[in-house]
Amino acid sequence: MGQTPEQTVADFAIGSGKLAQMGSLLVSLAGGEPCLREDLPQIVREVARYHFPFVTTSGWHVTAELAEELFEAGLWGASVSIDYTDPVRHDRARGVKGAFERAVAALEHFSKARKHAWQRVNLMAVLLHDNQDQIADLIKLAAEHDAYFMIQPYGVRKTGSERFRNGSAGVSSQLVHLKDKHRNFLSNRVFLSRFDQALKEGVPGCRAGQAFFNIDSRGDVAICVEERSHPVANLYRDNVADVVRALNARARGNTCMDCWYNCRGEVEMLYDPVALVKSLPTLFFDRGRPSQIKPDGQGGGCS
């Protein structure tokens, strides 16, 4: 079988317009590696007409020129994935020599390319079995490049490997302590406080299909990225009302507790009244560049 063609810029324009019937959404452009596409700035521009486009990248293909083009096109934010501050360990994990150097350069490119205070740059890390001692240094690395830091636990479902399930006690308390200590640690405090539970037994109440959903390169819609092999609708063939109904129907039978990704935990906190109140400082105060955050926590940028 031949490879399925990816969506064209015109397809993204149509899809973005259809999704606008649901309201303005945070649209994560991830992969794979989105920066492999030479037309990524045009894609971002079409998504940004109605939504808040966000790119997650390894940083390998990010140049100063590309970062400029993406932010000029209306990119809301960019996350560069780095799991170790040791270049050798990072390169070994990615299987490419020079991966760490390229990732750090990407952070710098994005940080310098921002056009508006509301545009975000993050260093995104995944908590693994062997990098818990790296987190504080990763936060500092992000700060050195005027970037925020965010983290999520590894999902066992992604590979089936249990060795990535960090079961050591005190992960949550360590992360919350680091958040209190470092103003550029952006992850939600309540989200962080549930890492221990997520890593040991799982967090119930997943809102996949309601609070978030996944669209693949063919326009197939699934309740989450890990369910992409079981789509419930297609963004191009189906009208938006039918897509929403299909997502809601599939979500009602969802009892999965296999992940605690950012797309799940960070978003679901906004549906919990107590967690929402605790999230207000992050939502309304920690805005703009980390270097613009004033000592009292008030953001220096505009919303």
Q: How far apart (Å, rounded) are the C-alpha atoms in residues 152 and 126?
A: 5
Residue type, 129: H
Q: How many CB atoms lie within 10 A of CB 124?
A: 23
pLDDT at 303: 21
Q: How far apart (Å, rounded) are the C-alpha atoms in residues 124 and 109?
A: 16
pLDDT at 302: 27
* Residues whose CB falls within 8 Å of the CB of residue 159, separated by 6 or more in sequence, listed in order: none
Q: What is the DSSP string of 33-84?
A: -GGG-TTHHHHHHHHHTTSEEEEEE-STT--HHHHHHHHHTT--EEEEE---
pLDDT at 237: 96
pLDDT at 169: 62
DSSP assigned state of 201: T
Beta carbons of 152 and 262 less than 8 angstroms apart: yes
Render pLDDT for 88-107 as a digit per residue (tens, 0 to 9): 999 999 999 999 999 999 99
Query: Model's pTM, two decimal places?
Result: 0.89
Render pLDDT for 173-222 as a digit per residue (tens, 0 to 9): 999 999 999 999 999 899 999 999 998 889 999 999 999 999 999 999 99
- Mean pLDDT by runs of 10 across the 303 residues of the chain is 72 96 94 94 98 97 98 97 97 96 98 93 94 96 97 82 69 95 93 92 93 95 95 96 97 92 87 71 60 48 26
